[in-house]
Structure 1
Amino acid sequence: MADIVTKAREVSPQDVEAELDALAKRYRAAGGFGVDLLNRLGGSGESLLERLPAPVREGLTGATESALRFAMKGASQSRRLVPDQKPGVDRVVSAAMGAAGGAAGLPGALVELPATTAFLLRSIQGAAAAEGFDPEAESVTFDCIQVFASAGPLAEDDGADFGFVSVRLGLPGGLHKLIAQVAPKLGAVLGQKLAAQAVPVAGAVAGATINYVFAGYYREMAHVHFGLRRLAVEADVPHDALAARLRMRLQSDGAKR
């Protein structure tokens, strides 16, 4: 089955430049959510992680790998049963999940983590479908997991964390290899989320806020990722060439800040 229904069409060089500008703007807007969130939480990622018990910190990568494997099954199954929702609805539902997990402190947050990961992956799949891709296609599944390589809004963004739009991971090695590559980076971000939710009651507010931001962030990053792929097909321009041009825009934006 083809992974994309969009076909090459007549796209002018001006259209390509305009779409690349729009994708760069979308990327920067998504990253801005994280800066605001960190300010609200009042601490750096490192200080948040230090609040977690040592066994939890040491098991983050393994827990994240398990959550991603669970998410692959749960997200696809849920899309067959319930249609994709508007972004605002997804963010409200995600916030409710975070509040429920945080209300019980760290134990509740640990239980909620795989469900939230599945929900985020489902949101990423929805963005892929909106850009004209088939979320059930194997290559699209790979790319959906790869979107998590953008780390997340709780990661410190020095302007260089956008390699995920430039690198297309090949199929050899399978999904498990890809998950193993993504899990350490995503695990560090999810660890900060767990730490913020560790205090009962107060953790409910933190969980709701973080999940609300996560839902928006990963959906926007998915639109950037799949929007670039769609543009490559429609304009009949190599993906790597367009990715390099987008990367230059992002680097230029970072240098101006």
Structure 2
Amino acid sequence: MSGELTTLTQPDSEAVLAQAASDYLAARGRLMSALEQAGRFVQMGLNRLPPEVQKMVAERARDGLELAFRTAILGLDPGARPERSAAYKLGGALSGAMGGMGGFATTLAELPVTTGLIMRSVADIARGQGLDLRDPEVRTACVEVFAFGGPLDEDDDADIAFWATRLAGQEMAQLMANVVLRYAPALMTKLGAQAVPLVGAAVGAGLNLVYMEFYQRMARVVFSLKPLEQRLGRQVVRQRFAEAVDSRRRALGHDARFGRRA
């Protein structure tokens, strides 16, 4: 298989799972503190949105993901090269500032642009880790990154369960439809935060930085597990990842929520 990496031993497997779990929880902990500062702007904006917006945002989320897949993944040179995460963060911040400048209308137009930038950054990370973007499994993994919802989603158990069980063996069209179920609410939150004109420009820039970093971190978690999935199987590795997240939670003195839910 193109993009296949070196087979890992059992001790290596446990180390990779433990590191991925640690990175996953660290990403949410760090980003949530930054987003709490924007909480009141989020609520102000959500109160201004008409009821029909939810359906509109879901449509934009799907259209944005499909366009991003065609242009950001299929149009990216598959040759391995170092990732450029900082450049994508800057581009995302500029896009968010411009989108938030005019409030609701300009933010709605900006959502597909931000989705495209995030998708391109995710694909860039995959390529930087030596994965081949011509490999259908790698392309699928790029889309699956968006199934982790967004940085304001507090129910990370649902993220892991959705990613681990709902996305296996699907054609791209069905995969997109399922991923939108998790990604559209994240866009709704972003839209709410930027719906207040002028103030939304500053919030939009900061929020896009946080969103970009969140999905970049989730991409590194997903792609770090790909070699294990190739060797041990997708379902086994994702279940073991959930268990590793619980183990890390216990080590931090928190409840092992995913295991309890099962």
TM-score of the superposed pair, with normalisation by structure 2: 0.84
| Alignment match, 1:6 | 5
Would the aligned equivalents of 1:49 and 1:57 in 2 still touch at CA under 8 Å? no
Following superposition, the deviation at residue 248 of structure 1 comes to 0.9
Task: Give the 5 Å matches for 1:1-257.
Answer: 2-8=1-7, 11-43=8-40, 49-76=46-73, 79-80=76-77, 85-163=83-161, 166-167=164-165, 169-172=167-170, 174-233=171-230, 236-254=231-249, 256-257=253-254
* CA–CA separation in structure 2 for the residues paired with 1:73 and 1:238: 27
Q: How far apart are the structure 2 equivalents of 1:142 and 1:232?
A: 13
Q: Kindly indicate whether structure 1 or structure 2 has the higher relative contact order, using CA contacts under 8 Å at least 6 residues apart.
A: 1
The 1-side partners of 2:156 and 2:140 are apart by 26
1:217-254 CA deviation, whole Å, 9 max, x = no partner?
11111111121112344xx3334333222211212344
Q: Verify the 8 A CA contact 1:102 1:197 in the aligned structure 2.
A: yes
Residues 4 and 220 of structure 1, relative CA distance in 2, 3 Å threshold? same
Q: In structure 2, what is the Cα distance between the partners aligned to 1:232 and 1:54?
A: 41
Q: Which runs of 5+ in 1 are unaligned?
A: none
Verify the 8 A CA contact 1:106 1:197 in the aligned structure 2. Answer: yes
| Alpha carbons 1:38, 1:154 under 8 Å: kept | yes
Structure 2 CA distance for partners of 1:27 and 1:158, relative to 1, 3 Å = closer
Which amino acid in structure 1 is aligned with residue 185 of structure 2?
A
State the SS of the aligned residue for 1:218.
helix
SS of residue matched to 1:54? coil
Output the CA distance in 1 between the equivalents of 2:64 and 2:29: 26
SS in 2 for 1:134: coil
| Number of equivalences | 251
Q: CA deviation at 1:85?
A: 4.5
- Which string of whole-angstrom CA distances, capped at 9 and with x for unpartnered residues, describes residues 3-58 of structure 1? 424242xx443222222111111111221244123311124977753432222223
Q: Which amino acid aligns with 1:149?
A: A
In structure 2, relative to structure 1, the CA distance for the partners of 1:39 and 1:170 (3 Å cut) is closer
AA aligned opposite 2:15: A
Secondary structure (helix, strand or coil) at the match of 1:53 reads coil
Contact 2:146/2:183 (CA < 8 Å) preserved in 1?
yes
Task: Find the aligned partners of 2:47 and 2:169 in 1 and give their Cα distance.
Answer: 36
Query: Separation in 2 of the partners of 1:28 and 1:199?
Result: 31
Partner amino acid, structure 2, of 1:113: L
Given that 1:38 and 1:44 are in contact with CA atoms closer than 8 Å, whether structure 2 keeps it comes out as no
Amino acid across the alignment from 1:36 = S
User: 214-223 or 237-246, which moves further after superposition?
Assistant: 237-246
For 1:79, what is the secondary structure of its paired residue?
Answer: coil
Unaligned residue ranges in structure 2 (runs of 5+): 255-262
CA distance in 1, matches of 2:192, 2:162: 26
Contact 2:95-2:110 at 8 Å conserved across structures: yes
- Separation of aligned partners in 1, 2:239 and 2:43: 31
1:200 alignment partner, SS class: coil
Q: Return the alpha-carbon distance in structure 2 between the equivalents of residues 253 and 160 of structure 1.
A: 17
Whole-Å separation in 2 of the counterparts to 1:249 and 1:59: 37
